Amino acid sequence: MQRVAVVDYGGSNLRSVAKALETVAEGAHEVVVTAQPDVLLSADRVVFPGQGAIGDCMRGLQKNDLLPALRECLHTRPFFGICLGLQSLMASSDEDGGTAGIGAYAGQVRRFRSDAGPGPDGNPRKIPHMGWNDVTWLRDHPIIHGVASGTRFYFVHSYYVVPDDPALALGRTDYIDPFVSALAFGSVFATQFHPEKSAAVGLRLLKNFLAWNGH
């Protein structure tokens, strides 16, 4: 039986991610929530979920000495980053007065503009971006099989990633400005939206992840 490790850096939402994974695993995978580097390194797959501020996230990772293990897992096994788990992969974030990320990819995390004005429906475009929105796939990937381009997923965020290499982008969404809502490179797949809150389509992504060999 394969083991799926859900990274616990002291943040919230871990239980709902673990429950969603257990639902789609159907007993074929062991799902563990862990803050231990050795457990991460012994897992077959890693899921890095996140809610909250990036400063707290990075401090939690450092406190538990998780950064070296996370960096190794990014290159050696299927890895799924969710929301803050995507943002933290960048080199730095504008949040919390400027915060260094894990640095897996060159790029910034930026805040939505506050001067955007109303949306096409006349309603104000508030920050955070919260609710359902379309994701347009920019290329194919095994994890999105069976999920059409333009499918709606659930978002909750005030910041978004701007990778230096545009080829990293897998999905794009429009809110105030177009932004990268999914990223994929090598054995890494990461989303700004929350698959565990996105009903059947989100569970489909998680199920595809459990079947993916990382290539």
CATH label of the domain that carries residue 71: 3.40.50.880
| Predicted TM-score (pTM) of this structure | 0.95
Query: Which is the catalytic residue, given 73, 83, 95, 129?
Result: 83
- Asked if pLDDT for residue 112 goes beyond 80, the answer is yes
Least confident of 23-27, 133-137, 184-188, 199-203: 23-27
Query: Which is the catalytic residue, given 57, 73, 157, 196?
Result: 196
CB 51 within 8 A of CB 13: yes
Mean pLDDT of the chain: 93
Is 30 known to be catalytic?
no
Q: 68 lies in a domain? A: yes
Please report which confidence band the pLDDT of residue 116 belongs to, taking 50, 70 and 90 as the band edges.
confident
Is 194 known to be catalytic?
yes
Domain limits for position 75: 2-97+107-211
- Asked if pLDDT for residue 76 goes beyond 90, the answer is yes
Q: 79 lies in a domain? A: yes
Q: How many domains does the chain have?
A: 1
- Asked if pLDDT for residue 114 goes beyond 90, the answer is no
Query: Which is the catalytic residue, given 57, 73, 129, 194?
Result: 194
Q: 102 lies in a domain? A: no
d(CA 84, CA 47): 12
Task: Name the region of 149 (left: φ>0; alpha: ψ -120 to 50; beta: rest).
Answer: beta
Q: 12 lies in a domain? A: yes
Taking the CA atoms of residue 83, residue 169, residue 115 and residue 117 in that order, the dihedral angle to the nearest 10 degrees is: -90
Average pLDDT over residues 11-32: 90
Q: 144 lies in a domain? A: yes
Q: 161 lies in a domain? A: yes
